[in-house]
Structure formats: structure tokens, C-alpha cells
Amino acid sequence: MHSKPRKMVDNPHVQLNPTTQHQEQELLLQSQRFKELKAFDETKAGVKGLIDAGISKVPQIFINNNKTPHKTSPSKSPSSSAEFQIPVIDLIKVENDDGSSGGRKLIIDQVREACEEFGFFQVVNHGVPKEIIDEMIEGVRGFHEQPHDLKKEYYSRDRSRKVRYNSSFDLYESKVANWRDSMFFAMAPQPPNPKELPTPCREITFLYSSHVKKLGFTLLELLSEALGLKAKYLEEIECGKGHALISHYYPACPEPNKTMGTTEHSDPDFFTILLQDNIGGLQVLYQNQWVDVKPVEGALVINLGDLMQLISNDKFKSARHRVLAKSIGPRISIACFFNNYDESSNRIYGPIEELLSEENPPLYTETTVKGYTVYFYSKGLSTSTPPLQDFKI
Ligand code: OGA
Ligand code: NI
């Protein structure tokens, strides 16, 4: 790059014209892409709308030309972890402190290992009743499959709205759009007025939210203890104060190899509780391999977010993950982000002092949840460097 200006002085005609031509072409492509994005956005019907309209090819805005999205391995190394499964942790004896087998101590050890190694695990016997889980999935389906006229009222990219729905939250920021529609509800600390929620999932969302919040606080205790801190540590620094439910609907895709359900990313929160149906497609990056997070009957998936990696000073990992587009569907998933995204909170988060020492100096600068989230949103998912990198000292 640096040699170009010098050459241009030598022979401006040869060098300048191709560059300008290239830039013009690039600008033309960008403006064409912007028009297509805007046209899609203005339908307010999302990816589901494209399917309802009967398309048989994936439109250009969803196609990532630089990548073959379905490769299992980002490197050339052979797939050694094809049969590998992320840990499934049984929480049935989480209250059992008497040292009996499968009790709390063992659970904390399993959580520590999973958080240090993968940043991902599944939990069973987690206390969220099966009926609530099934009804939540049906409620989300009910919202996305209701008539367009009812649904479009909720379509918005205004991040101050506690209740909204759209397709690719980073549509204009990212290089490529994703094959999914999502509904966003900010449920805590200040829930929306129930009337603001769409009727197909109004009651069940509040019910699911209260159950998942309870599980969230149990997990915060386990995570605190796994870090060697007192059980209430992470709760007291308000890692569980806020949560948002993001419900995804991934329609069946006519050309699943050309696009992605969700681009590779790590979550911008402390941790996420994810409910997925039985379709599959979620993958986690482990030792440079994409590993399937296979649906386990009745289980919930837990993954750590960037803010947990930041406050734990890299002791715990926020793993990168993605969702493949599939020829079957729709796939439904409900992510509960614990991130205290409260306009009024100015709480500063940095590496936890108790975890630092001379050998373990802080690796990250301090930030607020809002500061981190706004930065994450400004980059979008298809960014070349993970946003957490930019908070490294
Ligand atoms: C997310 C996410 C995975 C899924 O919402 O951040 O990674 O299975 N979702 O939908
Ligand atoms: Ni995620």
C-alpha cells in the first residue's frame, strides 16, 4: 500500500486511473447494496417475508463472498473433534452442600472446567419446567408466524425501544445479512408494560423470564465460587441485575451453503442462557474447530460473554459461536442475555481485584456495560477483529 503514492508520482496515468476506477466500482457496489438492504428493511417482513413471497434463491445481501460458511474447520487441520460434545452439567444437587456425590462441590468443579476450557456448557435439571420451555418456543413461533400486518408494528431498529423485532440487528453495520429474524424484549431491571408485548407470547415471556432469572442467579453463585470468590460476589456487582430476551426465528433456507443463520461472534454480556429447539445448527469454536452444540432434550445452553472474560481477566472464556443456515426449519431459539443494560447504570467493570496479582496483572481496561454494548453494536457481527480485543491493555 505504502509504495503506491511514490509510483503515482512517477507515472500518474497508469497508477491513478485503475485506482479511481476501482474506487468508483466499489462505491457503485456499495450504493447498490445499500439500496437492496433498505428495500429489504422497508418490507418489515424479515427473512420470513422472503420465504412467504416464494423466493428460491438467497438474495445477494445475505451472501458472504469471502467465505465458505459451512466449513467445519477454519484451518486446514483435520477435524479431530467431530464427535466432541460440550459438557452437560446436571444441577439436580446444586443445593446439596454435604459433600455427597454429584453435590454442589462437584458441580462447581465442572462449571470451572467448562468455563476455563470452552466458555460453553449445557445444564439439565435446571429448574425451568418443561411446560414453560415448550410454551415459550410456541409463543415465539406464534409471534413470527402471525399475519404481517400485526407483526410489522413491532419492526424497529430503535435501540431505546424495550420491545422490538427486526432482521439482522446489524444489517447496515455488517458486511453480510443473516438468515434470521429476531424479537428483542428488555425484561430487567425495568420490564416493559405487558401491553407492549405481542399477544402470542405476552404471558409466557413474563413467566419464562422469571424462571430464567432465577436460574441466572444460581449460575452467578456457581460462577463466583468457580472463580474462588464468595457465592454472592457476581450478584453483588450486579452481573444479574438486567436481562434481555432475544428470540430468534431461522426460516428454512433454499440455499443453506450460501449464507449463515448467525455470523460468528461472542456475546457482549456476562453470560447467556440459550434455549434451542431440536433442529440444530449452533456451533462453538473450540481449538480452531467448529463443534456442534447438539440439542439435548430438556437442556439449556450456557455460554459466557465478553464481559465475563473481561472481569475474570481471561480466567473464563467467552467462546466464539455461530448458527448455520439449514434447509429445514424454522429453527427457534431464545437467548437470555445477562448484561445489566440499564440506562441509569454507570457501574464500572474491570478485571476483578481479588483475581489479580503480580503474576496476574490486569489485561483489560475498565468499561461500563453500556460502553461495551454500544461499541459492540457499532461494529456489527462480521468484524475482522473481536471487539473485546480493543479493550486489551
Ligand atoms: C445469540 C446467539 C444462538 C442461537 O443470540 O447471540 O448466539 O442458537 N444465538 O440462536
Ligand atoms: Ni451469541
pTM of the complete model beyond 0.85: yes
Nearest to 250 by CA among 362, 311, 350, 334: 334
| Predicted local distance difference test score (pLDDT) of residue 64 | 79
* Pocket flag, ligand 1, residue 323 (CB < 6 Å): yes
Ligand 1 near 267 CB (within 6 A): yes
Ligand 1, residue 267: give the atom nearest the CA: 6
At 128, list the grid cell. 425451568
Domains of the chain in start order, with CATH, are: 19-391 (2.60.120.330)
Which of 120, 248, 336 best tests ligand 1's pocket when mutated (most atoms within 8 Å of CB)?
248
| Burial state string for 10-40 with b = 16 or more CB within 10 A and e = fewer than 16 | eeeeebeeeeeeeeeeeeeeeeebeeebeeb
CA distances from 292 to 4, 83, 247 (A): 45, 9, 20
How far is residue 359's CA from residue 112's CA, in Å, rounded to a whole number? Answer: 21
CA–CA separation, 138 and 146 (whole Å): 12
> Of 168, 165, 186, which Cα lies nearest the Cα of 178?
168
Position in ligand 1 atom list of the atom nearest CA 182: 5
Alpha carbon of 212 to ligand 2 centroid (Å):
17
Residues 104, 40: Cα–Cα separation, whole Å: 50
CB 335 near ligand 1, within 6 Å: yes
Contacts of 216 (CB under 8 A, 6+ apart): 240, 243, 271, 273, 336, 338
Q: What is the pLDDT along the chain (393 residues), one digit of tens a residue?
A: 343 333 333 444 445 566 788 888 888 888 899 999 999 999 999 999 999 999 999 999 999 775 555 555 444 333 445 568 899 999 999 998 877 777 999 999 999 999 999 999 999 999 999 999 999 999 999 999 999 999 999 999 998 899 999 999 999 988 999 999 999 999 999 999 999 999 999 999 999 999 999 999 999 999 999 999 999 999 999 999 999 999 999 999 999 999 999 999 999 999 999 999 999 999 999 999 999 999 999 999 999 999 999 999 999 999 999 999 999 999 999 999 998 766 667 899 999 999 999 999 999 999 999 999 888 888 888 777 889 999 999
CB 305 within 8 A of CB 317: no
Whose cell is 418443561? That residue is: 130
Determine contact, residues 174/379, Cβ cutoff 8 Å. Answer: no
Instruction: Determine which helix (DSSP H) or strand (DSSP E) holds 46, and give its type and residue range.
Output: helix 46-52
CA dist., res. 308 & res. 22, Å (int): 43
321 lines ligand 1 (CB under 6 A): yes
373 lines ligand 1 (CB under 6 A): no
Do 83 and 191 contact (CB within 8 A), yes or no?
no
Question: DSSP characters for 278-312?
Answer: SS--EEEEETTEEEE----TT-EEEEE-HHHHHHT
